[in-house]
Structure 1
Amino acid sequence: MTEIAKALTVAGTDPSGGAGIHADLKTFQEIGVYGMSVITSVVSQNTLGVKSFVDLELDFVESQFDAVYEDIPPDAVKSGMLSNPEVMALTARKMKEAGVANYVLDPVMIASSGHALISEDARVAVAKELLPLATVVTPNLPEAEALTNKTIKTVEDMKEAGRVLVEEYGANAALIKGGHYEGEADDFLYDGDTFEKFSAERFDTKHTHGSGCTYAAVITAGLANGKTLYDAVKDGKAYITAAISNPLNIGKGQGPTNHWGHRWSEIHSKEKA
Structure 2
Amino acid sequence: MKDKRLQILVIAGYDPSAGAGILADVKTAESNSVYAYAVCTGFTFQNSSRIAAVRWFSEEDISTQIRLCCEDTLFEWVKLGITQDPSMLAGILGSLRKYCPGVKIIWDPVLSSSSGTTFMEGLGAADFERLLPQVFMITPNLPELYALYPAGNPEAICARLSRKTIVYLKGGHDKDWPGRDRLFIRGVCHTLASGIAEAFQKHGSGCVLSTALTANLAREFATVPVEADSAVVKAALKSKQYTEAFLNSHPGRLGWHKAYENE
Identity within the alignment, %: 27
2:157 to 146, 154, 161: 161
**CA separation of 1:2/1:70 partners in 2, compared to 1, >3 Å: closer, same or farther?**
closer
Q: Secondary structure at the residue paired with 1:10?
A: strand
Find the aligned partners of 1:262 and 1:189 in 2 and give their Cα distance.
22
**TM-score, normalised via structure 2 length:** 0.86
Find the aligned partners of 1:81 and 1:223 in 2 and give their Cα distance.
21
Deviation at residue 126 of structure 1 after TM alignment: 6.1
2:249 to 231, 246, 255: 246
What residue is the counterpart of 2:11 in the other structure?
A: 10
1:178 to 148, 167, 171: 171
1:185·1:202 contact (CA, 8 Å) conserved in 2?
Answer: no
Letter of the structure 1 residue corresponding to residue 198 of structure 2: F
After TM superposition, list the pairs within 5 Å mapping 1:1-273 onto structure 2.
Answer: 3-97=4-98, 98-111=100-113, 113-123=114-124, 127=128, 130-151=131-152, 157-167=153-163, 170=164, 172-182=165-175, 183-200=177-194, 201-205=196-200, 207-227=201-221, 228-247=231-250, 249=252, 255-260=253-258, 262=260
Letter of the structure 1 residue corresponding to residue 59 of structure 2: L
2:125·2:149 contact (CA, 8 Å) conserved in 1?
Answer: no
Find the aligned partners of 1:247 and 1:150 in 2 and give their Cα distance.
37
**CA separation of 1:230/1:58 partners in 2, compared to 1, >3 Å: closer, same or farther?**
same
1:102·1:223 contact (CA, 8 Å) conserved in 2?
Answer: no
Letter of the structure 1 residue corresponding to residue 83 of structure 2: L
Deviation at residue 221 of structure 1 after TM alignment: 0.4
**CA separation of 1:126/1:213 partners in 2, compared to 1, >3 Å: closer, same or farther?**
farther
1:16·1:46 contact (CA, 8 Å) conserved in 2?
Answer: yes
1:179·1:185 contact (CA, 8 Å) conserved in 2?
Answer: yes
1:8·1:77 contact (CA, 8 Å) conserved in 2?
Answer: yes
**CA separation of 1:215/1:134 partners in 2, compared to 1, >3 Å: closer, same or farther?**
same
**CA separation of 1:248/1:25 partners in 2, compared to 1, >3 Å: closer, same or farther?**
farther
Deviation at residue 129 of structure 1 after TM alignment: 5.8
2:83·2:120 contact (CA, 8 Å) conserved in 1?
Answer: no
**CA separation of 1:71/1:110 partners in 2, compared to 1, >3 Å: closer, same or farther?**
same
1:11·1:39 contact (CA, 8 Å) conserved in 2?
Answer: yes
**TM-score, normalised via structure 1 length:** 0.83
Find the aligned partners of 2:250 and 2:3 in 1 and give their Cα distance.
34
Alignment length, in residue pairs? 248
Deviation at residue 37 of structure 1 after TM alignment: 1.0
**CA separation of 1:129/1:44 partners in 2, compared to 1, >3 Å: closer, same or farther?**
farther
